[in-house]
Structure 1
Amino acid sequence: MDNRWFIGYVFSNLAAGLTTPLIPLFIVFYLKSNVEYVGLVSALASLASVPALIFWGNLSDKIKKRKIFIVIGFVGSFLSLLLVLIVHTMPSYVFMLVLFQVLAMSSVPVSTLLILENSEKSAWPKVMGKFNSYSAIGTVIGLGVGVLILTFFKNEGHQLIPYLYVIAAWFYLIAGIISIIVLKEPKSEISRGKIGYLFALHVIERVRYFPTHLVHIPGKENKIKIPDHLKLYLFTTMILMMGFQLFFIPYPVFVIKKMNANENDIYIMFLLNSLFSAATFIPAGRYINYIGSNRMLVISTSIRVALFLVTGVLSFFVFDTVGYLLFFIIMYGVFGAIWSFIGISEITSISNMATSLIRGKVIGYYNSLNGVGQIMGAALSGFVAYDISYSFDFILSAIIVLSGLLIILYAKPPDIQYSKKIVKSHS
């Protein structure tokens, strides 16, 4: 397979990284609205991606084509993001994001399959390792580009924000052109259910939480039932994700409103989160080998609960000072580091608790339930933070995550070492 395709994927992830912090910035600074709409718009955009993922995934399987959907996703992202130049109201912004999600999701269900179908099976872990690495690198570069643009053009004020979408759109177009030139249709076809373990885990926790990869779409093709204990574990991951989303969606707006943070501060905050997450990914996988996946999940989730509570308490006494701003920016980076341990722990346990006959199906439900938790948390977060307080939102998120943690402690899933297959595919 021509590795130049991976360069195209760097550009698409660069664009995704550049747009990651833009929903709260666009709504608060450009549209001059509040955190309530940040939560609502995030939920609506995520919700739009769910039927789009299923539609594009099923359509690609039906017509037996892959490349065209990559092109539609990248070029469609380019065209939809250019609409930001005529966006001046909340409804038009929602329309742009929903259209972007529907078109961008075209590339998601087929990207992994296309790469694997163009590679020898023995090379899959190595190929997926490169794929994941390029994805993480692109995201970090995109956030870094955002920091540089906002630094050099800081005198432009809030009017610069829409043009970050425009710049991201051109990066998507570059990715589309590269895919048109380089990418080839695969010579063989692979069943989604057989490769779920290869791409179920994100190196970087998407704070925006829009789906970025989907390998297996749950369906009726597999009649084997999922064991009750595994269903409970999957349900628990949904609760955890809901609590995480409830905390993270209002967090940038909290830093803006309470500590007078500007656009550059928010980009730096997101950049630290991504860098810390990527930096701890491999060490997290190795450390789980020593203490087991369940114990690692309990420890890392407990740390997040404690930090959520600390944030909630401190938010009662926040002052507009540089020291407080630095503290909350660095705290956001620490949350990214913790994600590596949580994400690896979850997927290690799920992949090993599921037999090979239902692993793809289980991974599909894991992705789906995570999506449900993301949408629920996003929808609830804005209302809680705006109508009650940020402090209550942060403490409530800690309580929800704690409830998921208690279920894990009650269920006592097995402590499993990190799968060598997953290590290789993400290293």
Structure 2
Amino acid sequence: MPLYLLQLGGNVQMVGIMNSLASLSSMIGSLFWGKLSDRTLRRKIFILFGFFSVSIFLTVLSFANSPAEFIILNAVYSFFLASTLSVPIVLVLRSVRKHSWDYGIGKFNEISGWAWVFGLGLGFVLSQYLTIRQLLLLFAILNIPSLIWGAKTIREIPIYVNRKSIRIFGNYVVEKIRYVPTFMLHINLRKPKFGKFYFASFLFWISVGMYFSQFPVLLAENGFERRYIYLAAILNSSVSAFMYLKVGLMLENRDKLKVLKEGIALRLIGIATILIGTFMLPYLLPLAFLSYFLAGYSWSFISISSTSIVGKLAGEREKGTAMGTFNLINSLGYIIGSFLSGFLVYAGGFTANFGASSLFALLSLLSLRKLEI
């Protein structure tokens, strides 16, 4: 999406605004569709509606003629796409036994993660022959079988799920920052008893927003073709999916807070790597790939350990509420980071943006120093 926006005449500021608005729309949509699904006790119809919206909006987006038009359409698209994020989670919970919820959610995200990688790979191959407009139209058509298959195979389970009682899950595979939050079950805005951890997470997600929003723009602005950006994304997503189960097993015998600190430290090194690349442009491409590799590798440490920490800090009855608040804070951090990134690049170049991203990651790491679990 950032590449298409630039092709339409957009700039770095618009990329930041587009990503922040898309994430805000996704967050609102996730809550809206989830609550509407609970109220009507229907799941299947909302999932199919989300699939249908993908084909419709990809087609519409392919005909966008101005940056402003594209940003607005993408925000609306993100709102409707959110119905494929929060509602399927509930359907998964109702499709497996309660003691297997962790496995069910994990398997769902594992399949989604590798499908994401496959889609990136397909986009990489096709981008050698098709324009971005043509790719959007093609993917709109390729999505139609999912709608037909879903209508035939998805079973409606009209049973109410109390979102407040759902326990926390640490089963992320891909850092789907464009669709933050991955899922949101319940929100309670009361003051948490573990505000230090929330604050550290908030700082980290500001860093994430700054980093991911401008990474593809940096490569594009320096003359690298789309295929390199696709390859970087494939590398990032693949290493996250590959490392997820390994880190999960490792956490059984290690301190979760220490693993989280290691993950953020790795992410800080990754951001610093791309920051160095802004000073050494002849070496930008290999440094960018190394940076994106470290971003994907570190995510497996950060995602699992952070959700486990929330579960440990919260009481048994508070876990659903704690996760909802955690996701909300992360979403707001990413939205702020994405929004600021464009203005930072405009005012001080990519060096200023990735420098700020490094700073927020460092502040997040320092905020965890005095945290006790």
Q: Secondary structure at the match of 2:297?
A: helix
Deviation at 1:286, TM superposition (A): 2.3
Whether 2:10 is the aligned partner of 1:33: answer yes
Q: Which residue of 2 aligns with 1:213?
A: 182
Tell me which residue corresponds to 2:165. Answer: 194
Q: 1:187 to 1:347 in 2, by over 3 A?
A: same
Give the CA deviation at 1:137.
Answer: 1.2
SS at match of 1:203: coil
Cα deviation for residue 25 of structure 1 reads 1.1
Which of 140, 144, 149 pairs up with 1:169?
A: 140
Q: Which runs of 4+ in 1 moved over 6 A?
A: none
1:69-101 Cα distance to aligned partner (Å, 9 max, x none): 111111112111110232110122122212211
Tell me what 1:182 maps to: 153
Verify: 1:290 aligned to 2:253, yes or no.
Answer: yes
1:377-416 equivalent positions in 2, closer than 5 A: 377-410=337-370, 412-414=371-373
Say whether the 8 Å CA contact 1:84–1:165 is kept in structure 2: yes
One-letter amino acid of the counterpart of residue 80, structure 2: L
- 2:126 maps to 1:149: yes
In 1: Cα distance, 2:11 partner to 2:300 partner: 31
Alpha-carbon distance change, 362 to 76 in structure 1, aligned in 2, over 3 angstroms: same
Cα gap change, 1:377 to 1:370, in 2 (>3 Å): same
Instruction: Provide Cα deviations, 1:193-242, integer angstroms capped at 9, x if missing partner.
Output: 232423x5421112x4323632412148xxxx6653x1221222111011
Q: Is the 8 A contact 1:195 1:215 kept in 2?
A: no
- Contact 1:117–1:187, Cα closer than 8 Å, also in 2: no
How many residues in Structure 1 have an aligned counterpart in Structure 2? 373
Q: Which amino acid aligns with 2:218?
A: F
Tell me how far 1:362 sits from its aligned partner.
Answer: 0.3
The reply on whether 1:373 has 2:350 as its aligned counterpart is no
Cα distance, 1:49–1:165 mapped onto 2, change above 3 Å: same
The reply on whether 1:115 has 2:86 as its aligned counterpart is: no
2:271–2:357 contact (8 Å) kept in structure 1: yes
Identity across matched positions, percent = 25
CA apart distance, 1:285: 1.7
1:132 lines up with 2:109 in the alignment? yes
1:241-272 residue CA offsets vs partner (Å, 9 max, x unmatched): 111211221111112223x2101111011000
1:358-402 Cα shifts (integer Å, max 9, x gaps): 000000011111110110000000110122111111111111111
Alpha-carbon distance change, 327 to 267 in structure 1, aligned in 2, over 3 angstroms? same
Give the aligned partner of residue 240 of structure 2.
277
* Alpha-carbon contact 2:20-2:335 (below 8 Å) kept: yes
C-alpha deviations, 1:304-357, integer Å up to 9, x for none? 2233234323412312xxx54233223212210111101111111111111111
CA contact (8 A) 1:226 1:362 kept: no
Corresponding residue for residue 34 of structure 2: 57
Say whether the 8 Å CA contact 1:209–1:374 is kept in structure 2. no
In the TM superposition, residue 180 of structure 1 has moved relative to its aligned partner by 1.2
Are the equivalent residues in 1 in contact too, given 2:16–2:341 (CA < 8 A)? yes
Q: Does 1:203 align with 2:162?
A: no
Structure 1 unaligned spans of 5+: 1-22, 415-427
SS at match of 1:197: coil
Partner SS, residue 401 of structure 1: helix
Match of 1:419 in 2: none
Q: What residue ranges of structure 2 are gaps of 5+ in the alignment?
A: none
* Residue 315 in structure 1 maps to residue 286 in structure 2: no
Q: 1:219 to 1:311 in 2, by over 3 A?
A: closer
| Change in CA separation of 1:215 and 1:257 when aligned onto 2, cut-off 3 Å | closer
Q: CA–CA distance in 2 between the matches of 1:374 and 1:201?
A: 20
Q: CA deviation at 1:289?
A: 3.0
| Alpha-carbon distance in structure 2 between the residues aligned to 1:161 and 1:369 | 33
Question: Do the aligned partners of 1:81 and 1:165 also contact (CA within 8 Å) in 2?
Answer: yes
Structure 2 counterpart of 1:296, which letter? Answer: V
Contact kept, 8 Å, 1:110 with 1:215, in 2: the verdict is no
Match of 1:71 among 48, 52, 71: 48
CA 1:217 to 1:170, structure 2 compared with 1: closer, same or farther past 3 Å? farther
